[in-house]
Amino acid sequence: MATGTLSKAPPSEFEKTPSVSKPDFKDSGRGPGGIDSGGGDFGRWNPMGWNTPASASRAGIYAALASVSMLFISVASIFFWRKRAGGNWVEISIPRVLYLNTLVLLLSSATVQLARRALAADHARAFRWWLYATLGLGLTFLAGQWTAWRKLLAAGVYMTGNPSSALFYVVTGAHALHLIGGLVALLYLTTRAREIRWGLRRHTAVEVAAIYWHFMDILWLCLLGLLLVLR
């Protein structure tokens, strides 16, 4: 009986080792580890570590703005019924600097929007300068409010003794405090402008800060109208 060498047959297609492909996070809207970051330009994973889902960030800012709105609506309602009750309500003169302040704040809304457009166009220098312009206009607004308070105090208009003057100080002071919060957010963005550019083209933080700043503008217009009606 002849003996021969046995040759090993090539593996069939069913025996081949399957290749494992690496996950692609580029367009999936997910970050490392498969963490869903919301999808879209605002929701993709951020290499800077700010991987909060964009949907959660938007929901958070809208919830915060709703809370702020309820606060000012409550204050306005209290003073509205207080005026209807009569008593020692004495009308005060609105300082004219408030009208100039309104124009300044409207202009700051335009500059923060221009900053967003510059970031979307990958114009880093323009993005930073428009943020600086918004910061400067915000500080100018606060300086104008301080001037208005000093004018009223110099005229003998104090917070106590007259509900009308109390209304003025309460609403303008509360708005100024909330505006300072917006300035802090804008200042933070200016310090991280380079990293924002290297990360997402449209970072959620920029969008949220812009929404908040526009809200401060709209809120001030409502408060100015309230002061003109109830003064």
DSSP annotation of 44 = S
Domain assignment present for residue 189? The answer is yes
Regions of the chain where pLDDT drops below 50: 1-7, 12-50, 201
pLDDT of residue 200: 52
Rg (CA), the chain: 29
Q: What percent of the chain has pLDDT over 70?
A: 72
pLDDT of residue 39: 37
**Could you tell me the CATH number of the domain that includes residue 143?**
1.20.120.80
pLDDT of residue 46: 41
88 in Cβ contact with 161 (< 8 Å)? yes
pLDDT 10s digits, 110-156: 999 999 998 888 888 898 999 999 999 999 999 999 999 999 999 98
25 in Cβ contact with 32 (< 8 Å)? yes
pLDDT of residue 10: 53
Sequence-distant (6+) residues with CB within 8 A of 159 are 165, 166, 169, 170
48 in Cβ contact with 62 (< 8 Å)? no
Positions of E strands within the chain: none
Domain assignment present for residue 6? The answer is no
Domain of residue 180, residue span:
54-88+95-230
Cβ count near 79 (within 10 Å): 20
How many domains does one find in the chain? 1
pLDDT 10s digits, 198-213: 555 457 888 899 999 9
Domain assignment present for residue 43? The answer is no
pLDDT of residue 173: 95
Q: What share of the chain is helix, strand, coil (3-state, %, to 5)?
A: 65, 0, 30
pLDDT of residue 49: 40
